[in-house]
Structure 1
Amino acid sequence: MQIYDYMNVLNSIRRKVLYRGVSELGESNSNLLRAGITLQLKEVGVLNDIRIDQIGKMEKKHTDMFRKKNVASAYDPTKKLNDMKINLTYMEWYMKGQKSKGGYYDAYKNAKTREEIVTQQEILKRQRDLTKYWKKTVEEKDRMPQKEGAKLRKRWLYGGSNYRRIVEPLEIADHYKSGNTNYIMSRSDHYKLLEKWSDEDKKDSRASDTKRNTVASLTEDSCFWAHVEEALISLTDLVNGGSTDNEQRLEEFEAYVMREIENYAVSLDIFVDGSSLMKWWNEYKAYKGTAYASEFAQYMNGSYNLYK
């Protein structure tokens, strides 16, 4: 069987009809817009009643309309980005109100009351709108072959980083709440690219040479809670007599969290009572016993309340 190229056939027919129409109407140039208007007037039988200057006015009106439409389209991406900022602002407002419920991540993951579920549905709607927009934006930028095209402009990059740090934790929550594991293996490509571009931008920026000395308002690693969930799984397996490889995984997790703390790269809500990190730490401390000593254990036993 052959794949037939209907597009070429349609284009050929279209050209022949237009050129034939132009020829029949005596147009000396191939002004397709004027020819199209003239052909339509001829079809409805009013061509002879229309003056040539009126056809010119119709042509100008259509040209102006197309021009205005193109100008509006040029600004549309910025308007769309601003619309997405409204959704993100709403989600930030939601984040700030969840401290008493174990923090943003766990409040979303463990929503139980009617009020919490209704609020969660509103968050999900905004999450879907944001993800649809950013997936499309990243796909369009990634298709461009030039280095400049492969990176989002500063404004989009900043917005994309905030989106990733606010929205991805909710996807992680849904992933583990459904009984799944190893989120990072199934992580969406648009998150990976946004993170990659952000890291490249930091390397290119002189500001990256200055070490952060204030606590991040948003945890910089948007996969932080996936690491916490995997640590909880490893600990449960270890307590139940599973592989001793879990010991090494948990030590690596300790070192990872400690690095993030030292770099002020995690937000305060990770230490909120009832958070998944604090749940892990309390269970891990009970498993290890009071004699256990490590840099992270020392920090959690005395200094984490000073993190600010």
Structure 2
Amino acid sequence: MAKKDSSRHGLVDTMLSDSRWRALIPLCCSLSMAANHSPSSPFLRHHSADSSVFAFPASWSSDDWILPGARSHFGETDVDAALFPSIKSVGNDAAAAVNGAFLRFFKNLLEISPLSTEVQRAASEKKQIMFTGHSSGGSIAVLATIWFLEQNRKFNISHGQADPFCITFGTPLVGDGVFVHALQREDWARLFLHFVMLGDIVPRCLMSPLSNLDEEFQGILHFLCPKPMHFSSKPAVSSLVTFYRTVLRNALSISNHQACFLMGCTNPLLEVLTGFVKFTPYRPFGTYAFHSSDDDKLIYLKNSNSILHLLFYFFQRDPEQDVEEIAQRSLEEHLLYEVRIKRLFDLQNTVSMHSLDAIPLSFSDALNEEAQSLETLLKEIDLSSEARLHLHAAAEWENQRLKNQAKVDSNYNKIQESLNFLKEYRATCELRGRGYYDTFKLQKDVEDFNTNVKRLELAGLWDEIVEMLRRYELPDGFDGRKEWVNLGTQYRRLVEPLDIANYYRHSKNEDTGPYMVKGRPKRYRYTQRWLEHAERAPASSSVESCFWASVEELCIETGDNKPFPEVKTRVLELEQEVLRWVNEGKLGRDVFLSDSTFAKWWMTLPLQHRLGSCIAKFMNVEDMLGKSNQ
């Protein structure tokens, strides 16, 4: 047994070292195969004293692998935000894409089967929940696991409930890069373990546009279909070879393209190529355990880019081998999981584990035992120099993202100090009898100039962070880190009013339009989404920092003599929001000072409206009545 590293591969190490888990993995595999032989049952379940396993059958119809008339040849579609609200890029506000046929199959399963009831009953009994499946059944298990995690989060179910686990066998890819990013951010990717035979074609099939190979693919599914369900004849040799070569060619293309990106290739031809050649959007996630039918070694990884490369390099054929023979074997290996897993996890055997998450370019200086063991393994599996280079690039990309995070973290205290400076400035404004927003907008004193310098310095720091997030150059969990969510919220509430003041002070709205439409920087949109995601709040529900932008636009409209009835609805909405924000401490009382832009504008509203307003208690009633008599 290889050395354990619970921080990197806790799930794998636990499963392979604990006798209970070692027994559960073969059980999951057997149940998955049994589910394939029970097409009339939407799922099989196995209950024990402390666990409940739900196994989903694979489908042998090509329509359940790629939707007819899908928007692309790869059949991806936006994830259902109602079922999977966390599966998105928070800062970039980008929805994840998943295989549309798998998503449709799972949603139908929820509607017509007792899955939800059965899972919740097992959870209420504090049992360990496990989802499993072979082939496309594993893809349904993946979606079921995420659904259960979302349900637990939605209803705040955490008391005594262990995290679910998902174990799949020979499963095709399910989601795109945003899907992978979201699972990493939520710390859910660690709950997925995928077993893949080195030569199995099915886990690689969605690297190819299946819609262009519908006839060939349906013939392959007929062959893989259990005999009691369908007459299992071998697909025509020509169709099988065509399918095999297409999958291999596409796997090579996406591996090379991703390697060029990770290595920082700047050749403009690469960008031109992507405009003509469509690469698969799907990416691996979780922990992959590759194993060969020739021995009892497990090669496991959790680096998504490394897994993507090995899905090709472990599948790459020897030029001297007969293509028809290896293509046939690539199908047969998909049917061998139960036998191989049983042998692999025989309690009397020892499983040899090797991680390929980080590979040095050269072993010439490697003297430690672990490095020598890794070098021996690479020779045994005959991993090419090109493959090693690609794996090294994937590991270095992750290291660079960690370095970027360390650089950003080093600015944390600097940002906090600048925010403390702004808090002191705001307190000084109140002592001077004028609000924070209006004092800065007037720019009369040296303190206002210094504050503007701080505003610009902070903008530079946050724009750098946002640009890294936009390009996914920070670790996936960055925009979910509590300390940065809190700092981003402080920053937005303190500094965005100053940006709005600067925007309208220089009349940028006359050229660009309203601040909220075209003028609002990404740094505020990102940090707002962080908070809304962390609090599970509806989108655009935390816009208190944009209060002054709404005021400025209403000032402009009413100043242009727009009749009050035309803006009344917006005024009422703003007043309700002001009341809520003040009560929640998100908006300072300085907005009600008699010289503030807000107070001056509000006093121009009809007296009848002001007297009945929900924020009238914050205003000077004598002023209201006095001005109405003038």
TM-score range normalised by the length of the shorter chain: 0.5 to 0.7
Contact (CA 8 Å) 1:138, 1:194: kept in 2 or not? no
User: What is the distance in 1 between the residues matched to 2:472 and 2:570?
Assistant: 39
Partner of 1:296: 615
Give the counterpart of 1:90 among 421, 426, 436: 421
Aligned-pair distance for 1:145? 9.5
User: What is the distance in 1 between the residues matched to 2:569 and 2:543?
Assistant: 24
Aligned-pair distance for 1:196? 0.8
Change (3 A) 1:202 1:147: farther
Partner of 2:536: 203
Report how many aligned residue pairs link the two structures.
220
| Letter aligned with residue 103 of structure 1 | G
Partner of 2:434: 102
Partner of 2:465: 137
Aligned-pair distance for 1:289? 4.9
Partner of 1:194: 527
Q: Which runs of 5+ in 2 are unaligned?
A: 1-266, 271-360, 366-401, 622-630
Listed one character per residue, the Cα deviations across residues 164-202 of structure 1 (whole Å, up to 9, x for unaligned) are 111111110011112225211121122111101111112
User: What is the distance in 2 between the residues matched to 1:193 and 1:85?
Assistant: 18
SS in 2 for 1:222: helix
Partner of 2:555: 232
Listed one character per residue, the Cα deviations across residues 2-47 of structure 1 (whole Å, up to 9, x for unaligned) are 9578xxxxxxxxxxxxxxxxxxxxxxxx97999xxxxxxxxxxxxx
User: What is the distance in 2 between the residues matched to 1:197 and 1:72?
Assistant: 22
Change (3 A) 1:246 1:125: same
1:128-207 aligned at under 5 Å gives the runs 128-144=456-472, 148-149=476-477, 151-179=479-507, 180=509, 182-186=514-518, 187-203=520-536
Change (3 A) 1:192 1:291: closer
Change (3 A) 1:288 1:140: same
| Letter aligned with residue 277 of structure 1 | F
User: What is the distance in 1 between the residues matched to 2:455 and 2:477?
Assistant: 26
Partner of 2:600: 279
Change (3 A) 1:251 1:200: same
User: What is the distance in 2 between the residues matched to 1:150 and 1:97?
Assistant: 34
Listed one character per residue, the Cα deviations across residues 127-178 of structure 1 (whole Å, up to 9, x for unaligned) are 1111111111123234339994362411111111111111111110011112
SS in 2 for 1:203: coil
SS in 1 for 2:535: helix
**Percent identity at matched positions?**
28
Partner of 2:410: 79
Partner of 2:451: 123
Change (3 A) 1:151 1:74: closer
Aligned-pair distance for 1:243? 7.5
Q: Which runs of 5+ in 1 are unaligned?
A: 6-29, 35-70, 205-218, 303-308
Aligned-pair distance for 1:251? 2.8
Aligned-pair distance for 1:92? 1.3
Aligned-pair distance for 1:74? 7.2
Highest relative contact order (Cα 8 Å, sep 6+), 1 or 2?
A: 1
Return the TM-score normalized by structure 1. 0.60
SS in 2 for 1:283: coil
SS in 2 for 1:294: coil
Aligned-pair distance for 1:108? 0.4
- Give the structure with the larger helix fraction: 1
Contact (CA 8 Å) 1:142, 1:149: kept in 2 or not? no
Give the counterpart of 1:256 among 577, 601, 619: 577
User: What is the distance in 1 between the residues matched to 2:413 and 2:485?
Assistant: 14
User: What is the distance in 2 between the residues matched to 1:146 and 1:86?
Assistant: 23
Contact (CA 8 Å) 1:172, 1:183: kept in 2 or not? yes
| Letter aligned with residue 90 of structure 1 | F
User: What is the distance in 2 between the residues matched to 1:96 and 1:126?
Assistant: 16
User: What is the distance in 2 between the residues matched to 1:73 and 1:299?
Assistant: 47
SS in 2 for 1:295: coil
Aligned-pair distance for 1:256? 2.6
Aligned-pair distance for 1:102? 1.7
| Letter aligned with residue 550 of structure 2 | H
Contact (CA 8 Å) 1:168, 1:222: kept in 2 or not? yes
| Letter aligned with residue 167 of structure 1 | V
Listed one character per residue, the Cα deviations across residues 219-264 of structure 1 (whole Å, up to 9, x for unaligned) are 9711011112122223323xx3558422333233223323333444
Contact (CA 8 Å) 2:435, 2:591: kept in 1 or not? yes
Return the TM-score normalized by structure 2. 0.31
Give the CA RMSD over aligned residues. Answer: 3.6
